Structure 1
Amino acid sequence: MTDITPTTSPRTRHIAMLAFPDCQILDVCGPLEVFSFVNCWLHLTCNPDWTAYRFSVIAERAGPIRTMSGLQIIADHDLVDVGDDIDTLLVTGGIGVDRARSNPVLVDWIRSMDQRVRRIGSVCTGAFLLAEAGLLNGRRATTHWHWCQQLAEEYPDIRVEPDRLAIRDGSRYSSGGVTAGMDLALCMIEEDFGPEATAMVGRWLLVFPNRPGGQSQFNVALHNSSGARRDFRELQSWIDAHPEANLSVDALARRMHMSPRNFARLFEREVRLTPARFVEQSRLEKARAWLETSLSPVEMIAEKCGFGGAEAMRRCFQRNFKVSPLVYRSRFRRAGVL
């Protein structure tokens, strides 16, 4: 039997989730369910009289809230009904976040709660609400990989780390896309009750207590070339179709009838990536597709995708995804691939 020992006195911690219309329901339910499994374990094993966490959902107005999926959740309290007993405030994300961060009442309330809670955090695009409230200025933070660049551009005082699943910077926390809110909850449980509690919850939920890798494993790099010159758009398509070719700056510059220096400067201006980074992303996406849809040897995939050898591809995967090609295949190989 595992003994869960609190790092402080055995009190009940109040976890509150701030929600809004068109929030992501998994952003709300995922972390709260993770916290609730600590209570389940206590009640089933070592201490049926102690509830480690209690929960509430807060919204601008109490009552039903329609989420992105159309399902409704019930907010227990509105903003003016919140007392001073919240230990941890989490802010959800979802497609309604732009309307939410344009609501000065909501943003001002979040800012005021920073001094009333022990820790405050965001799930997925909920980071935009913390950012709008100024709570992430000068701090490290993350959000869903698709919106990391937007977060960094709109709030330049934040040090955005796109590949992280969860980040703590002082009393401010943030997590990546959707299910990463569960990783954030596990991190908080470890702070409260130690690694044994986190391992126990992970076993019960069939998730990694400390998930290896980062968001980049799930990020399919979509080339945004809509604003680029036509000749550069055509070059990007050619690169994607010929990953095995010589794609050095010199070779690409010759293809564009430019000097290497001028080509590199214009490419980065038009595509917002250096030529080398674009080529690497293109080759990585080709390799990912091979690994997900075939059992072809890694050596062959590395050659077809222009890496020059299996070791070079392994280093590239490790650098970008924090896992090897074989581990990536074991996680993401599609059903039906024998």
Structure 2
Amino acid sequence: MHRIVFVVYPGFEILDVSGPGAVFSGANRALGGADPFYGIELASARGGPVPSSSGIVVDTQRIDALPAQAVGTLLVVGAEREPLLRAMADPALGPGLARLAGGAARWGSICSGVFILAALGLVDGRRVATHWDACMPLAKAFPKVEVDADSLYVVDGSLWTSAGVTTGIDMSLAMIAGDLGATIAGEVAKRLVLYARRPGYQSQFSPVLQAQARADSPFGDLIAWIQDHLQEPLDVPALAARAGLAERTFHRKFVAATGVTPARYVETARLDAARMLLSRGLSLKSVAVQVGLFPAARFADAFERRFGMSPRLFRDMHAGG
């Protein structure tokens, strides 16, 4: 059995445990065998009942009672600032955590749990992910750590770290895909009614979400419409007409509301969609048509300019993952 150990502490975020926990237990159900592949355990500094931030209490083992070599995957969960600071300063947590991390086949954190690993010096010189709101504080507090502020999750050797909250689900699905294959991971994602298995390279914020969060009415509706009509001509005249504004007025108000020009936003939305389609193994021509960047040469130029690699290479690297 592959033992999954979640390290918790008072005030931890329950979703950091329940989300990935549901994914791993879902894999056991998808396999259909009598003996589960994954075993899920919770550990804390002193063992016993530990309250989460939502008031839900979980039962745990003492971290120093766990044999390091028996741990398949070790994950430190996140929390808000105050409980996280208390955990980082807890002398009963650090030694046991460092020992388990040193012996685990795979180890890391979910969301802000990486701060605890960083406080122990375990991720110096390593690339990590964390919640978008914690990236700058993490980089400032621990300058030896390379913080990836964009990715949903980061794999650096045996170290796995995820960004904010629900991205722990994406990372857990990626672990399952590596352990048991993409088919089982896909079955789990379908059972959990997930929109898609998001790859680690995907940004914490899609361009749609970023723009919708910043945009004033009526651009929130327009942005949603753009996402559903990427194949169509989406130049300023067409978008201005859709918004019911003069072209110059539309351009000025769109930039003020979203922080980017209409052309830049449209290209970003198209390229973001292209990455998802390429990761499914679609042909370059098909992707170019679906995202409105045809002919294929135009698509290839835009993709390489933005991401520093050809769409063909990107597909070869990510398709089927």
Q: Give the TM-score taking structure 2 as reference length.
A: 0.69
One-letter amino acid of the counterpart of residue 30, structure 1: G
Distance 1:29 1:219, change over 3 A: farther
One-letter amino acid of the counterpart of residue 15, structure 1: I
Q: Which residue of 2 aligns with 1:315?
A: 267
Distance 1:309 1:103, change over 3 A: closer
TM superposition shift of 1:71:
1.5
C-alpha separation in 2, matches of 1:202 and 1:115: 31
Q: Which residue of 2 aligns with 1:110?
A: 97
One-letter amino acid of the counterpart of residue 267, structure 2: R
Residue aligned with 1:15, SS:
strand
Residues 119, 173 of structure 1: 8 Å contact kept = yes
Q: 5 Å matches for 1:30-45?
A: 30-43=19-32
Q: Which residue of 2 aligns with 1:199?
A: 186
Q: 2:254 aligns with which of 305, 320, 323?
A: 305
Q: 5 Å matches for 1:108-147?
A: 108-147=95-134
Percent identity of paired positions between Structure 1 and Structure 2: 29
Q: Which residue of 2 aligns with 1:21?
A: 10
Distance 1:15 1:218, change over 3 A: farther
Post-superposition CA distance 1:234-285 (Å, at most 9, x none) = xxxxxxxxxxxxxxxxxxxxxxxxxxxxxxxxxxxxxxxxxxxxxxxxx885
One-letter amino acid of the counterpart of residue 127, structure 1: V
Q: Is 1:80 matched up with 2:64? A: yes
Post-superposition CA distance 1:1-54 (Å, at most 9, x none) = xxxxxxxxxxx10001000000000001111110000111122xxxx2231101
Aligned length: 245
Residues 130, 161 of structure 2: 8 Å contact kept = yes
Q: Is 1:287 matched up with 2:229? A: no
Q: 5 Å matches for 1:121-270?
A: 121-207=108-194, 208-211=196-199, 213-217=202-206
Post-superposition CA distance 1:67-108 (Å, at most 9, x none) = 111121111x11222123111111000121111011133122
Distance 1:112 1:288, change over 3 A: farther
One-letter amino acid of the counterpart of residue 87, structure 1: G
Which of these two proteins has the greater Rg computed from alpha carbons?
Answer: 1
One-letter amino acid of the counterpart of residue 77, structure 2: T
C-alpha separation in 2, matches of 1:187 and 1:119: 13
Q: Which residue of 1 aligns with 2:289?
A: none
C-alpha separation in 1, matches of 2:102 and 2:187: 32
One-letter amino acid of the counterpart of residue 56, structure 1: E
One-letter amino acid of the counterpart of residue 72, structure 2: D
Residues 152, 167 of structure 2: 8 Å contact kept = yes
Distance 1:193 1:154, change over 3 A: same
One-letter amino acid of the counterpart of residue 312, structure 1: R
One-letter amino acid of the counterpart of residue 172, structure 1: L
C-alpha separation in 1, matches of 2:131 and 2:208: 9
Q: Which has the larger displacement, 292-301 or 57-66?
A: 292-301
RMSD across aligned positions (CA): 2.7
Q: Which runs of 5+ in 2 are unaligned?
A: 227-238, 244-249, 275-321
One-letter amino acid of the counterpart of residue 125, structure 2: G
TM superposition shift of 1:218:
8.9
Distance 1:290 1:146, change over 3 A: farther
Q: Which runs of 5+ in 1 are unaligned?
A: 1-11, 222-282, 325-338
Distance 1:71 1:308, change over 3 A: closer
TM superposition shift of 1:202:
1.1
Residue aligned with 2:205, SS:
helix
Distance 1:117 1:295, change over 3 A: closer
Residue aligned with 1:209, SS:
coil
